Amino acid sequence: MMALYTLPFFNREDDYMNEEAPYLPMTLVELDTHAVLNAVRDKFNWAAKFNDPAIRAKWQAEIAALSRVNRRMLRYVMAELEWTAQHEPTAGGPDNVFVSDTAVNETTRERLIQLISKLEDVPDNKKDWHPRSDNQVLDLVHPSLFPLVYGRTHVRDRAVDGNEAQSVAESFASIGSGKGAVAVAPSKQSEFSSIKFQWLPSDAMVNAETKQVKLLSYINNLHPVHHAELYEVIEEVLAAMVPLWQSTLARIHRPQELRIHTDSQRWYRQGGYVDPDDVTSDDDEYATTTVSGAEPESKTAGNPVGPKLMDLDLPDNSDDDDADFDPDAPAKATQADTDGDAMDVDGDASGSEDEEDDDDEEDEDEDDDWWELQPRVTPTSFVPEPAQLAGKRIQVIIKLANIHLTPEKPMYKGGSWHVEGMLNESIIATGLYYYAMDNITESRLEFRTAVQGPEYEQSDYRGMRTIYGLDNEDELNQPRGYITAHQGRIVTFPNLYQHQVQPFKLADPTRPGYRKILAVFLVDPSKTVPSTAVVAPQQAEWMMEQLHAQDNRINDVFPVEIVEGIVNKVGGPLMSLAEAKELRLELMDERTALVSHNDKATFSARFNLCEH
């Protein structure tokens, strides 16, 4: 089946028109606007608390106090927040990211902690510290261990009559049956595909009526018999992720539209080019931001020269009653960097009243005509119909990992910018559940996207720098904000977003701390990749245990060491733990190279301000 969603693997090094990226660039003003929206929507349970008039007033005052916010931006931000809280309440901090702080109840969370403790409470020599993590990242379940290996792993044919296994137990019991062959690498090779490995997802069914999720095949590296109860709790978390994934998938097809639309041919006076370095703070021509659908409050000698905000009629909501805004919420650049372009508190461009009146009289008709021709964005365009996963078979890759800090190692240095998986794994979205945290400072996950190059007039260096903060040969990516890890929070986001875990440390340096997550990678629902439904467990230890369970007489006839030797000598897809760890290092090296190449080719293409 043809893929319906865009994956984050495309090479823009020869894309001189910069058209392959799925997102349009934001102006500096919109980046500021988005940063303020992000700070609110990142609040714990923000949409539920936003309707409290006291909280709303408090947050509005805090927004107004930010140096980069003028009255018009304040009105717009409050309007969008109100509308979003009503129509898209799971919207997270960044655009196209979705969050729920209440979808998983406390009983389920505590049960998850209890059941996962069986994986944690093992002797030190059995703990699987992630390679190259300085013994800070503890892998409990990780897809890089015992992956599908092309040329070695046996893949059973899927049932052609639709008679697929309907439960983990049924799937596990049928292991070894049916026809199949050794896995081969995808015939259509790509610089972003692996020719050696593939993470193994589990198949699951989303009930059409109850929306509950039932795993249909085992989770790689999590024994389905020993941890049957944990499977049930993971299914509950998956069910909580499904509505958020549906919104995420819908926003891949139709992302949040730009709030500010620009026209590179209408930025300057009709009399000629205006050098921004020659414009004083009392005669601004560049950042007259107006709300579309309303009369421009300030006009210049030709046309409205700055970006315009979308027309919305909306309200506002927020998180912790006592929590304050982060005035340093990340943005690639702020309008404060070019104060001459900033609007005053009334939302009008700074300048003498007489000059503005003269400009208005001379060009009012032309400006009105120009504004009438601009497209109006209405609130109904904000929320596309959610993708429907109910009644469908999906594939998910499960990971359980903890970050542990100690007084001896009190700081986690953060991660690299990356997307999940490789092209042959078809990961379309990620779901994270922060189920347990203790004694750590704020932990953020930041996002950025590849963007198309903006339209521009020939050699318009200053215009690009003023409106977008872009210079020739700059990287064409932009920040898309952050989410903060809160205990009990679920987050879903498109794999089109690069993400990076930010550094954090112990809150109290005298005692240990941790952050624990259940990560789930959703395979493109329009595709099917080899999964544990058709790949038997490759853990030699599991097979040996199965042999003992099927015939206890083996123990009477052969010593345990002999049985282990026989299993290990069988070869084929079975792997010892030692061999699996060697292959994991090989897999990690391959992915490290992929991350570097993907970052350069997809997310760091250069802006070429060439002559048209």
User: Per residue in 465-505, pLDDT tens?
Assistant: 999 999 999 999 999 999 999 999 999 999 999 999 999 99
Q: What is the mean pLDDT of residues 429-445?
A: 99
pLDDT at residue 227 greater than cutoff 90: yes
If one counts every other C-beta atom within 10 angstroms of the C-beta of residue 334, the result is 19
Give the 3-state secondary structure of residue 161: coil
pLDDT value of position 301: 31
pLDDT value of position 342: 29
pLDDT at residue 454 greater than cutoff 60: yes
pLDDT value of position 573: 79
Q: How is the chain split into domains, by residue range?
A: 28-93+255-381, 100-254+389-534+577-601, 540-570
- Using 50, 70 and 90 to split pLDDT, how confident is the model at 203? very high
If one counts every other C-beta atom within 10 angstroms of the C-beta of residue 414, the result is 13
Decide: residue 556, CB within 10 A, 0-12 exposed, 13-18 middle, 19+ buried: exposed
pLDDT at residue 453 greater than cutoff 60: yes
Q: What is the mean pLDDT of residues 199-219?
A: 96
Residues 6+ apart with CB under 8 A from 531: 200, 201, 202, 203, 217, 395
pLDDT value of position 283: 32
- Using 50, 70 and 90 to split pLDDT, how confident is the model at 373? low
- Using 50, 70 and 90 to split pLDDT, how confident is the model at 555? low
Task: Give CA–CA dist 534/515, Å, rounded.
Answer: 34
pLDDT value of position 349: 32
pLDDT at residue 39 greater than cutoff 70: yes
Give the 3-state secondary structure of residue 203: strand
User: 287, 340 in Cβ contact below 8 A?
Assistant: no
Q: What is the mean pLDDT of the chain?
A: 80
pLDDT value of position 397: 99
Residues forming a β-bridge with 554 = none
- Using 50, 70 and 90 to split pLDDT, how confident is the model at 347? very low
pLDDT value of position 575: 92
| pLDDT more than 70, % of the chain | 72
Q: What is the mean pLDDT of residues 403-427?
A: 97
pLDDT in tens, 2-30: 445 689 998 887 766 667 788 999 999 99
pLDDT value of position 366: 54
If one counts every other C-beta atom within 10 angstroms of the C-beta of residue 173, the result is 11
| pLDDT more than 90, % of the chain | 59
Give the 3-state secondary structure of residue 341: helix
User: 43, 321 in Cβ contact below 8 A?
Assistant: no
pLDDT, greater one: 129 or 312: 129
pLDDT value of position 264: 63
| Edge-to-edge strands, sheet with 444-450 | 477-484, 444-450, 498-501
pLDDT value of position 271: 42
pLDDT at residue 158 greater than cutoff 90: no
How distant, in Å, are the alpha carbons of 286, 337, 348, 461, 462 from that of 277? 11, 13, 20, 12, 9
pLDDT in tens, 273-332: 444 444 343 333 323 333 333 333 333 333 333 444 444 333 333 334 444 444 344 333
User: Averaging pLDDT over each range in 26-40, 297-311, 353-367, which range is the top one?
Assistant: 26-40
Task: Give CA–CA dist 234/492, Å, rounded.
Answer: 16
Q: Are strands 260-261 and 308-309 parallel, antiparallel or unpaired?
A: antiparallel
- Using 50, 70 and 90 to split pLDDT, how confident is the model at 609? confident
Residue corresponding to tokens 């990678």: 521
DSSP secondary structure string, 82-120? HHHHHH-TTB-SSTT-EEESSSS-HHHHHHHHHHHHHHH
Q: Are strands 202-206 and 154-156 parallel, antiparallel or unpaired?
A: unpaired
User: 235, 518 in Cβ contact below 8 A?
Assistant: no
Q: Which two tokens stand for residue 219?
A: 């989770």
- Among 190-204, 297-311, 576-590, name the one with the lowest average pLDDT: 297-311
- Using 50, 70 and 90 to split pLDDT, how confident is the model at 168? confident
How distant, in Å, are the alpha carbons of 241, 265, 328 from that of 486? 16, 45, 19
pLDDT value of position 281: 35
- Using 50, 70 and 90 to split pLDDT, how confident is the model at 248? very high
Q: What is the mean pLDDT of residues 364-371?
A: 52
Closest CA to 347 of 304, 290, 268: 290
pLDDT at residue 208 greater than cutoff 70: yes
pLDDT at residue 60 greater than cutoff 90: yes
Q: How many residues in total does the chain contain?
A: 612
Decide: residue 193, CB within 10 A, 0-12 exposed, 13-18 middle, 19+ buried: middle
- Using 50, 70 and 90 to split pLDDT, how confident is the model at 102? very high
